[in-house]
Structure 1
Amino acid sequence: MEKLKDKIVFISGASSGIGKACAEAFAKAGAHLILCARSTDKVKAVARELQDMYKIEIVSFGLDVQDKKLVNAAIDNLPEKWRKIDILVNNAGLARGLEKLYEGDTDDWDAMIDTNVKGLLYLTRKIVPFMLKNQVNGHIINIGSIAGIHAYPGGAVYCATKTAVKFISDGLRMDLVDKPIRVTAVQPGMVETNFSVVRFHGDKQKAGSVYAGIKPLTAEDIADVVMYAASAPPHVQICEVTVTPTNQATGGIVYKENVNLH
């Protein structure tokens, strides 16, 4: 993807899963990367691996996007040449718990709202003005979820946060309609990453049962979709992509082979 060579791409939540897969895909295309994640050690390890493999430039640092002051400081402290960001991939996000709304843990709610919604807003608010100032053909790619389209039992708050991602993307696209900046919302269905491990607070057995009997998407599948949107000609805006495994129709309608669902 020659058109992405030497672009500067900022990816949040880049230490694992979809964020890491996107980082590798952009690195392979010759882009230079700014990578952040809550785990400093993990994101720096990803950066070292990609630098060695693809001989690109990478800036990496630990960042919890829930903290507005830390986000502002991290972006403000970027060297001038790294402020010429072409593509922002708002990937940092999480789900916590699967209880009924009236039994939910309010700390879990705070984590989801502060990361999935406010963190995305904080990064977007800081980086889009750079794109406008530098007059680049910019691109904001927000990783949402099919949960933002179809609610499911036990997921009310998570689904609400991903609905917010969809409508923030739509609204931002309207705000930028007279600018050379595209906005894409990618809405995956079931993707096997550490997502469910986080949702179930580290219970790997419970997390594994989510994907039993179905071939889920991989992080690399979603990275392929991100790259498709990012590599489209500048006059082409992929507004929204919803992608699921073949045996998933909505967030709650899934066919699992040889699995007793009752």
Structure 2
Amino acid sequence: MERWQNRVAVVTGASSGIGAACMKYLANNGMVVVGLARRKELMDALRDQVEPEARARVHAIRCDLRDDQQIIAAFKEIESKYGPVAVLVNNAGTVRVMNLVNENNSQDVNDVINTNVLGVVNCTREAFRSMKANGGDGHVFMINSISGHIVPRIPNHSLNIYAPTKFAVTAMTEVYRQEFLNQNTKVKVTSISPGAVDTEIVPQEMKVALENPPFLQPEDIADALLYSLQTPPHVQIHEMIVKPIGELL
């Protein structure tokens, strides 16, 4: 992690789950970490969960990832207060219990697309602008899902628009790899696709429908992220699929 010491990492959806775990891991390993989420108070509380010497490196900005103007303002604040962005962890995501054929589901569908796809696009645009202007290196992470590669069947439930948004993230990972190369930078992009992770994003009724399957923990994904981040400059892990032992998908 020597090359990343005291450089700035931005983690979206950092108020709980995988995002919170990534914030703690990155801060404990020497990075200045800024969390973006709507629940700022939960991100602020993460300072008490890192090593004492890392607490001054943990910061939080309230930001709704569905709002492009809030994203633009947040990245401007980050650069002015903490410096250029070196690492972006696109972790924010949401899922809704619904069917695509339901009536009156437009708000739910739009919220999932705006968070899982457009939020990633807008944050990556702002982070890459900063990376390119400050040396042309960096690392963008996509916290994807096994649902971005297959559509798991859950008895009596639908993954509705969630799975298509994660398929989009899989395609976007390759698009960004090509665009970063075409822009003559050395910015890396890595998609990490977990199987089931025990976080609040998984509705309780889905856990029941799956008969309490084996789960990964958020820290498992943060550990995978750190592994990818520590690869040599000429090595890019493009896609990493992480499953719990015993998963049937």
Q: Verify the 8 A CA contact 1:4 1:26 in the aligned structure 2.
A: no
RMSD: 1.9
Distance of 2:63 and 2:28 partners within structure 1? 24
Does the 8 A contact of 2:198 with 2:216 survive in 1? yes
Select 2:177's aligned residue among 173, 177, 180: 173
Note the alpha carbon deviations across 1:205-255, whole angstroms, 9 max, x for none: x25425644321110011111111111111110001111112225xxx3xx
Q: Distance in 2 between matches of 1:148 and 1:136?
A: 29
1:47-196 matched pairs, under 5 angstroms? 47=47, 49-50=49-50, 52=52, 54-80=54-80, 82-97=82-97, 99-103=98-102, 105-153=105-153, 154-177=158-181, 178-196=184-202
- Counting matched residue pairs gives 242
Which amino acid in the other structure matches residue 226 of structure 1?
Answer: L
**Residue 137 of structure 1, CA deviation:** 2.3
Contact 2:93/2:115 (8 A) holds in 1: yes
TM norm structure 1: 0.85
Deviation at 1:107, TM superposition (A): 1.6
- Partner letter of residue 172 of structure 1? Y
Structure 2 contact 34–78 (Cα < 8 Å) conserved: no
Asked if the contact 2:18–2:219 (Cα under 8 Å) also holds between the matched residues in 1, the reply is yes
TM-score of the superposed pair, with normalisation by structure 2: 0.90
Q: Percent identity?
A: 30
Q: Which runs of 5+ in 1 are unaligned?
A: 198-203, 254-262
**CA offset at residue 5 of structure 1?**
2.3
